[in-house]
A and B are shown apart, each in its own frame.
Chain A
Amino acid sequence: MGLAYNIYLNSKRIYGCKICKTHLADHDEIISRNFRGQHGKAFLFNSVVNVQLGEAGERNMITGRHVVRDISCRQCKEVVGWKYDRAYESTEKYKEGKYILEQELMCQVS
């Protein structure tokens, strides 16, 4: 759909898509590193850029039931993590609206 330029971040440490190096998130936006995804370690970020959101689905995770949607790199269309839409348990509410990016699928861009 149309031409769209990528958003570039300004920071010391930026994580980007492993394949196309598109900037995804800033290191300072990490909320927690204590997550695990399908491929291993993952981080919880406050905000990410250059991603496209997928369909929402309910999933059962270690922490409980959540409504999540996958996020993929805008350019190469590869899935890089997911976003929490809703958390059913009250202790998990803090994750709502935040993003998980898997470390395996990312690389450090500078």
Chain B
Amino acid sequence: MSPTPPAFELDNTNPPPTSPIITAGPPAPSPPHPSPATESTAPPHNPRAEVPQEAPNDPSDPSDRPRKRRRRSSSLHDSQPGYARPSASKQQQPKRRRAEDTTSPDVAHEPIMRLEHTHEHRIRPSTNGSSVNGSSPHTNGSSAKSTETNGYHSNGHAEGAVRQHDASPFYGHDREEVTRILLQSLSDLGYHGAAKHLSSESGYELEIPSVAAFRNAVQQGQWEEAEALLFGHEAVELDGGVLLGNGHGHARRRKSRASFGSQNGYARQGLPLAATADTTQLKFLLRQQKYLELLDNRELNAALNVLRNELTPLKRDIGRLHALSSLMMCQSASDLRIQAEWDGAEGDSRRQLLSEISKSISPSVMIPEHRMATLFSAVQDEQILGCRYHNTIAQPSLYTDHECPAEEFPLQTFKELRNHSDEVWFVEFSHDGSMLATAGKDGLVCLYDTRNYSLRHEIREHDRNLSGDTTKGVCYVAFSPDDQYLISCAQNNEFVVINVRDGRRVAHGDHFDYPVTAAAWLPDSQTFVIGTQGSRRPLGLYSLRSAAGTSSSSSSVVRNNEIHSWRDPPWDDSGPADNHNSFRITDCAVSPDGSRLVATTIDKRILMYDLRSRAKIAEWAMDDRLTSICFGVDGAQLLINMYEGRVLALSAATGEVVMQYEGAQQAEFVIRSRFGGAGDNFVVSGSEDARVYVWRRQTGVLVAALEGHAAGGGTVNAVAWHPREGVSASAGDDRRVRM
């Protein structure tokens, strides 16, 4: 090993490192040898005794060729052992030479520098096929090339001790992975000193230099280097497009490689990309960002160049290309930003670009962002899903596994209300949870106070207009969002709005020919939707305000104040009494934000309307008859009850079945179900076998089937969940309401 040829030209065209990071080269005493392998033996000759393991200078040399690493930090090296290097000799030479050149003073410096660098690393198993420990460099074509990217030359790190990469696994997990994730989390948390310390102590680096270089390049807007780093030089040359610098010529590309040292030079092979990465797409993203930034700076010519020579040859996404070219017409930078929905070079866009690209880089090279947080969330979510009785929205602690106790869940009956003389058909809590309303076949609407469940009001508004005692029956009640009013819908073809405080009626509508089946309030507590079974006025929007604008709290009772009526097809009232093509409503609901109205019809369809424009948004046909529908609290899910005992959750946007809940029985009667629990975690429904069924919304697991209503008796018609406490109410045919 005599130092030979100018290290710089040597070896496989590796760009000679300009300033070798002091690779702790084997000091003059000549590096042990170009011997392949046998690294592990600490080169005894290595003066720096500390670095025993690492030391095998030679073997490590090749890999590391002293590279100028700007980035001190990172580079993970593969552990020395096994680093066989056939071309070791050549590569060593420069090093060696250097080492030799450096006389003692240098040698003396080395350790210091080394200290600064601190990161000794073993050659990190780079993911492009390089295997751990050493053999990798060889497997890569330009052998040392890839290894070059990996960081420092691990020779003789003065640090010594550090390198011990303990190969023992950490409770079953790969030590390296754990350490790197910890490093990332520490940096994310802001504890940079601790991160540095950890990396020096463990010998692992968070990112190899080229990744760090890439990250830097993107953030500073040095697109040329970024692209070179990402794909490697050959790639850049081979694939389409000439990479233009930001206004610089291309000529000094080669040179720049050299001059930028580790930044470009080592990226011969580029960063290892994930298997699914689409290099053209990545290039497109990078170049697009560059183009937008140039436009932002009003360097139109350069931007045009970029567009022509870089973006177009990629032959991708022609539509987007056209859009980008049209952006050139923008008059000003702010206009451009608005049109492109892009927030400028200083804004977040670079960071977003980086995130986007980092998704395509192989994860072991560039750890996905916030990996530890992602892992934690995933575990917590899984625990929450598995918890049967999870009835809180509080975030469970990370300290222990989460499991909600069953005691807090409403499983026992603690109260029974027996005010009704006939079947109870509907039950609902007020929005603030202070009142409970029940409605039954006897035409009675009872209002209870939820504190002590005492009866507040008994409302018999429907006693008029009786045509027979079989047409009594209130089938629906609805509290207004501010809990001031209550609508009750009855089978005798009318509905009544009652003021809850004093029990008087404030409005009613009786111009229906058919029973009123459902009602839903809009968030403003002044307008509501009524659904009936009549085809003339199946779905109407009503207001509490009378036409004259007088307040409805006065003694005048607003009557039949219909604002809008949906019919299909729309027509005037002069047609025949019954339009058979129209639809009849069995249930309706308004989304919590008041934007959408959804209704189910007798002929198995679900209709959705936009409330502001009153136009029909969607219509879905279901398999069987539907009896109930309601929105989830976030407005994104719908819960429906269908015949043959099916309870389904649908997505409100597409109408597709998200989840099916099994167990309830339904064959003849109207059964209603509701979302309930904290965060709408549960779905609760009645059933014809006198039980109340509760499921976990997200997973569909049956949590409980509560008995209690007279078994032989009848169906549980409706259920409701208290908005705040863990109390639920069920209304059954045995004339009782159970809490």
Contacts and interface: CB of A to CB of B under 8 A. Distances in A.
B733 A110 contact: no
Contacts of A12: 580
Interface stretch (B387-395, B465-473, B605-613): B465-473
A7 B669 contact: no
B533 A8 contact: yes
A1 B533 contact: no
A43 to B, nearest CB: 20
Contacts of A110: 576-578, 580
A33 to B, nearest CB: 23
Given A8-B584, A20-B470, A3 B425 contact: yes
A105 B669 CA distance: 26
Interface in B403-440: 423, 425-426
Contacts of A11: 580
A3 B475 contact: yes
B668 A7 contact: no
Interface in B584-631: 584, 586, 602-603, 627
Interface string A53-91: 000000000000000000000011100000000000000
Q: What does DSSP make chain B's interface, helix, strand, loop or mixed?
A: loop
A10 interface: yes
Contacts of B577: 110
B326 interface: no
A4 B441 CA distance: 11
Contacts of B669: 1-4
A5 B468 contact: no
B362 interface: no
A10 B473 contact: no
Contact of A8 (B441, B602, B733): B602
B670 interface: yes
A6 interface: yes
B227 interface: no
A8 B471 CA distance: 17
A90 to B, nearest CB: 35
A5 B423 contact: no
Given A8-B533, A110-B576, A110-B578, A3 B717 contact: yes
B688 A2 contact: yes
B47 interface: no
Contacts of B468: 19-20, 76
A3 B169 CA distance: 65
A20 B472 CA distance: 12
Nearest to B602: A8
A109 interface: yes
Contact of B533 (A5, A77, A109): A5
Contacts of B668: 1-2, 4
A2 B580 contact: no
B715 A1 contact: yes
A105 to B, nearest CB: 15
Contacts of B581: 10
Interface string B466-498: 011011010100000000000000000000000
B714 interface: yes
A74 B424 CA distance: 19
Contact of B670 (A2, A8, A77): A2
Contacts of A2: 423, 425, 668-671, 688, 714-715, 717, 733
Contacts of A19: 468
B522 to A, nearest CB: 24
Nearest to B517: A5
Contacts of A8: 533, 535, 584, 602
Given A2-B688, A110-B576, A76 B584 contact: no
A19 B467 CA distance: 9
A19 B470 CA distance: 11
Given A8-B533, A8-B584, A3 B578 contact: no
Nearest to A7: B602
A7 B584 CA distance: 10
A9 B580 CA distance: 8
B423 A1 contact: yes
A109 B580 CA distance: 12
Contacts of B475: 3
B578 A4 contact: no
Contact of A5 (B441, B576, B586): B586
Interface of B: 423, 425-426, 441, 467-468, 470-471, 473, 475, 515, 517, 533, 535, 576-578, 580-581, 584, 586, 602-603, 627, 668-671, 688, 714-715, 717, 733
Given A2-B670, A3-B473, A12-B580, 6 more contacts: A1-B714, A3-B670, A3-B717, A6-B533, A10-B581, A76-B468
10 contacts: A2-B423, A2-B671, A2-B714, A3-B425, A3-B426, A3-B475, A4-B668, A5-B533, A8-B584, A10-B603
Interface of A: 1-12, 19-20, 75-77, 109-110
* 4 interchain residue pairs of minimum CB distance: A2-B669, A10-B580, A2-B715, A3-B670
